[in-house]
């Protein structure tokens, strides 16, 4: 059987709190959001910027828990503006049959605070 790539994790609509050009690279994400979306440090993610249409890939760095931090670092900082709303997604490869029943982790934080609701 073959494998396909499917959505694994999604943080839907969070606001960029910082863009740090003078960093090695990556996206810093509040640890609580990472856990809720089942993301780990170093995981490859795709960033979809709602405000300017940019789509790019980078990797995750753990940010302070409950800080609401969403910081694009290094070259990625040029792709966003502080205040932009982004969607953060990761994908996983799996067997086609397994993918039919797989349920991704999708979270919808408060866009103003980047904190989990409820």
Question: Can 90 be counted among the known catalytic residues?
Answer: no
Q: Provide the token pair at 23.
A: 């960093």
Query: Which entry of 59, 67, 90, 91 is annotated as an active-site residue?
Result: 59
Residues 3-38 have pLDDT tens digits of: 999 999 999 999 999 999 998 779 999 999 999 999
Which CATH number describes the domain made up of 3-95? 2.40.40.20
The whole-number pLDDT of residue 39 equals 98
Asked if the model's pLDDT at residue 118 lies above 80, the reply is no
Q: Where are the domains of the chain?
A: 3-95
Question: Can 91 be counted among the known catalytic residues?
Answer: no
Query: pTM for the complete prediction?
Result: 0.96
Query: Which entry of 26, 67, 90, 91 is annotated as an active-site residue?
Result: 26
Nearest CA to 6 out of 90, 77, 84, 63 is that of 90
């Amino acid at each position: 059987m073959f494998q396909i790539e499917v959505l694994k994790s999604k943080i839907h609509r969070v606001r960029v709190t910082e863009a740090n050009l003078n960093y090695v690279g990556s996206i810093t994400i509040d640890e609580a959001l990472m856990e809720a979306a089942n993301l780990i440090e170093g995981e490859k993610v795709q960033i979809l910027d709602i405000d300017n249409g940019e789509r790019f890939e980078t990797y995750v760095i753990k940010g302070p828990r409950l800080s609401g931090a969403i910081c694009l670092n290094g070259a990625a900082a040029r792709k966003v503006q502080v205040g932009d709303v982004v969607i953060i997604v990761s994908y996983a490869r799996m067997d086609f049959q397994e993918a039919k029943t797989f349920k991704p982790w999708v979270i919808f934080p408060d866009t103003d605070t980047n904190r989990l609701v409820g």
